[in-house]
A and B are shown apart, each in its own frame.
Chain A
Amino acid sequence: MMARRIPSILPDLTFEEALETTKIHSIAGILSKDIPLITKRPFRSPHHTISSSSLVGGGKIPKPGEISLAHNGVLFLDELPEFNKNTLEVLRGPLEDGIINISRVNASLTYPCNFMFVASMNPCPCGYFGSKDKECTCSPTSIEKYMGKISGPLLDRIDIQIEVSAVKYQKLEEEIQSENSETIKQRVNKARKIQQQRYKEVGIYANSQLTPKLVNKYCKLDKESKEILKNAFERLGLSARAHGRILKVARTIADLDEKENIDSSHIAEAIQYRSLDKKYWKN
């Protein structure tokens, strides 16, 4: 449910983006007659039995796959370890490049696929690893096998990884006033504007598009933050590949905070979002 709400807090589609997304849906033949122009960010959540060619696209004359249909929107994979391992691995390239080349006998096509990748999973086959309410019945080997279905390179491409604990029944009944999507969206739009302003000269519009060179330029750390990051890598056993991701996320947190520079609290928060990197998961 939480994942389905993500498009509601994303910045509005620009006109160009709306045209692109509409084109892809039109090629795939799924554009409905009532909505000739897609103005809402798409949300695609294929079932875990999906094959790799329907995920990235394929066919005699290649049709766009789920990742292209999610262009400018969200691709949500529920129960990530249940997906076929090979199916997941095909995501690596597209996640990095934002485009997919599909070559078949009759045609070789390139579709755009600039999507936000969202996935959810249980901590172990029984679902109770680390839970206080019920003891986990899985053996260490079965947990390792379950986690092992998602390769390191794919995990590294996921910027934010957080653990959430099960909601108790009592809590479900309680009425808690939480922030609504509308106000969150305003904050997101504000941060997006700051980023557009900052990257005017380099031709990108968001932190996620920063190349390693630009990361060095725009994500400068003060001495204290550098120290924290260094210690975190040593003590928490983070993977080296996470370094650039942490900096980009910290930059975004600082933008949401409307701060010009990344300070130690931003970097600390960004590090906390790498929970799958931590050592305990691999012991």
Chain B
Amino acid sequence: MEKIKILKSTDKKYPLKLLEIKDYPKELYVIGNEKLLNKKSIAIVGSRDCTNYGAKYAERFAEQISKENICIVSGMAIGIDTCAHIGALKEKGNTIAVLGCGFNHIYPEENTELFNKIIENKGCVISEYPPETEADLSKFPLRNRIISALSMGVLVVEAKHRSGSTVTAKYAKEQEKKVFCIPGNIDLKTSVGTNRLIQAGAKLVVCAEDILAEYGFPVKIDETEQEVIVENEYADVYNVLTYMPTNINIIAKKCKLDISKVSQKLLMMEIKGYIKSMPGNEYVRL
């Protein structure tokens, strides 16, 4: 493992952005590329049990924002946070993960792999807690103040009512930063938080350009939808699919094919990367 650096709040290298908040951490434990801490950043946060929709757009927004050489800050939890880091890593690693525990007790454990990947790709992982500190739920909301302090604005992708992500948004407001939200289906629990934030004045965004425009980046919105062209033999099944999950029985009924034929075609399209299968025998376009 790489060496852990300790930044004291009196150090020259301590990020100025953090000193602007009143309860800034006295010490900051850093692994990886600490230069990122002074870069322009946007935070992307959201629910742990996210939907396919949230995961897809967290990754896409992170990727597109990274393209403009902006760093992506998130909390390295499962769900949206993971997708945001992965999206940023696709664009060569400008990402900061802020942990709510010590480096020796990464939570959740599954994300150790992501942790290593972030560091390998010249990203940065920070924590205000010494390496031996164990994960403890009370610390997670607190680290959110650091996430928002490091960023110019906070994008909330999916959030339940009164969840950690809405806490981050609250900190962002206190620190006078912009809050962005991706709107969601009002039936879903994971959209309640974001939709309410929009109601309370957060900016509704439908593409990464909506965020970039706030910070003076030249914006070229491409409204033309990109048409995916699939091979003729799969076209009939592909045309039935949408971006919302469709059950295999409905697909078969609409194509007037028997299940085994449909399922073969679905598998082939999944292998080719046109579609994705979801729990419950449902399929969506990618």
Contact A123 B263 (CB under 8 A): no
Q: Indicate if A232 sits at the interface (CB-CB under 8 A).
A: yes
Contact A163 B271 (CB under 8 A): no
Residues from chain A with Cβ under 8 Å of B249 in the complex:
165
A226-240 residues with Cβ-Cβ distance < 8 A to B are 228, 231-232, 235-236
- A280 and B267 in contact (CB under 8 A), knowing A135-B188, A140-B48? no
A112-171 residues with Cβ-Cβ distance < 8 A to B are 123, 129-132, 135, 139-140, 163-165
CB < 8 Å: which of B188, B189, B264 contacts A268? B264
Q: Indicate if A97 sits at the interface (CB-CB under 8 A).
A: no
Bound-complex Cα distance A268 to B264 (A): 5
CB < 8 Å: which of A132, A235, A283 contacts B282? A132
> Mask for A54-90, Cβ within 8 A of B = 1, else 0?
0000000000000000000000000000000000000
> Mask for B173-193, Cβ within 8 A of A = 1, else 0?
000000000000000110000
Bound-complex Cα distance A128 to B226 (A): 34
Contact B268 A228 (CB under 8 A): yes
Bound-complex Cα distance A132 to B51 (A): 12
- A123 and B280 in contact (CB under 8 A), knowing A132-B247, A139-B49, A165-B249? yes
A86 to chain B, nearest CB (A): 25
B223-273 residues with Cβ-Cβ distance < 8 A to A are 245, 247, 249, 260-261, 263-264, 266-268, 270-271, 273
A179-194 residues with Cβ-Cβ distance < 8 A to B are none
Contact B278 A235 (CB under 8 A): no
Q: Indicate if B279 sits at the interface (CB-CB under 8 A).
A: yes
Contact B247 A280 (CB under 8 A): no
Bound-complex Cα distance A9 to B218 (A): 67
User: Size band of the A side of the interface?
Assistant: 20 to 34
Residues from chain A with Cβ under 8 Å of B245 in the complex:
132
- A281 and B279 in contact (CB under 8 A), knowing A140-B49, A265-B264, A268-B264? yes
Q: Across the interface, name the chain A residue whose C-beta is closest to B280.
A: A130
Contact B279 A280 (CB under 8 A): yes
B286 to chain A, nearest CB (A): 12
- A268 and B277 in contact (CB under 8 A), knowing A140-B48, A140-B49, A165-B249? no
Residues from chain A with Cβ under 8 Å of B268 in the complex:
228, 268
A218 to chain B, nearest CB (A): 22
Q: Indicate if A210 sits at the interface (CB-CB under 8 A).
A: no
CB < 8 Å: which of A131, A132, A165, A272 contacts B267? A272
Residues from chain B with Cβ under 8 Å of A139 in the complex:
49
Contact B279 A123 (CB under 8 A): yes
Q: Indicate if B281 sits at the interface (CB-CB under 8 A).
A: yes
Choose among B48, B189, B268 the residue with the greatest number of A CB atoms under 10 Å from its CB: B268
Contact B271 A228 (CB under 8 A): yes
CB < 8 Å: which of A164, A231, A269 contacts B263? A269
Contact B267 A232 (CB under 8 A): yes
22 of the cross-chain contacts (CB-CB < 8 Å) are: A123-B280, A130-B278, A130-B280, A130-B281, A131-B280, A132-B247, A132-B280, A140-B48, A140-B78, A163-B280, A164-B281, A232-B271, A235-B270, A235-B273, A236-B271, A265-B261, A265-B264, A271-B267, A272-B264, A275-B281, A278-B277, A283-B78
A132-B245, A272-B267, A283-B78 are known contacts; what are 10 more A-B pairs with Cβ within 8 Å?
Answer: A123-B280, A129-B279, A130-B278, A130-B282, A132-B280, A165-B249, A228-B267, A272-B263, A280-B279, A281-B279
Which residues from chain B sit less than 8 Å from chain A, CB to CB?
48-49, 78, 188-189, 245, 247, 249, 260-261, 263-264, 266-268, 270-271, 273, 277-282
